[in-house]
């Protein structure tokens, strides 16, 4: 088993729970305020993690301006995506649409991996991209 597998499982569980809680919150808080709470608490959680690393002597955090720039762009995407999910749920979008939406994002990542990071373009990967895009179109009904 690859060394990153269990991190993938934990990330999948946490991101799945993230969307369930976003759905539960969406009719109880505004999209902008809800997104701000989500991202603010996320930032505090990461700050606690950094504190843990610092106080346990495990600090290994490097820094570069390029890393900061791409991290900031990631933050913009996550923040805007969180607001988009609040809006989706507030307008009646089903929680069951989230996996297809995330698969669409996965298709974008796979295409970027192939085009920009020189990852192999196997027939299985290309089929997965095509199916993910088809799934997004099937949501229209």
- Residue 138 has a pLDDT of 87
- Residue 139 has a pLDDT of 82
- Residue 70 has a pLDDT of 97
Return the CA Rg of the chain.
18
Block means of pLDDT (10 residues each) for the chain, length 141 residues? 91 93 97 97 98 97 97 97 96 92 93 96 94 88 71
- Residue 36 has a pLDDT of 97
- Residue 136 has a pLDDT of 87
The rounded distance, in Å, linking the Cα atoms of 129 and 27 is: 33
Long-range contacts of 23-29 (CB under 8 A, 24+ apart): 23/89, 23/95, 25/86, 26/85, 26/86, 26/89, 26/90, 27/89, 27/90, 29/86
The rounded distance, in Å, linking the Cα atoms of 55 and 49 is: 10
């Amino acid at each position: 088993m690859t060394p990153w597998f269990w991190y993938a499982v934990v990330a999948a569980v946490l991101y799945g729970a993230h969307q369930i809680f976003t759905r539960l919150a969406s009719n109880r808080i505004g999209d902008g305020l809800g997104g701000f709470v989500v991202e603010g608490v996320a930032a505090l959680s990461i700050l606690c993690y950094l504190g843990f690393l610092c106080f346990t002597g495990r600090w290994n955090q490097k820094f570069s301006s390029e890393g900061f720039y791409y991290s900031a762009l990631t933050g913009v995407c996550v923040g805007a995506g969180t607001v988009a999910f609040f809006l989706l749920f507030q307008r009646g979008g089903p929680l069951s649409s989230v996996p297809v939406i995330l698969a669409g994002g996965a298709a974008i990542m796979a295409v970027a991996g192939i085009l920009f990071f020189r990852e192999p373009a196997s027939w299985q990967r290309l089929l997965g991209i095509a199916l993910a895009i088809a799934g997004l179109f099937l949501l229209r009904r």
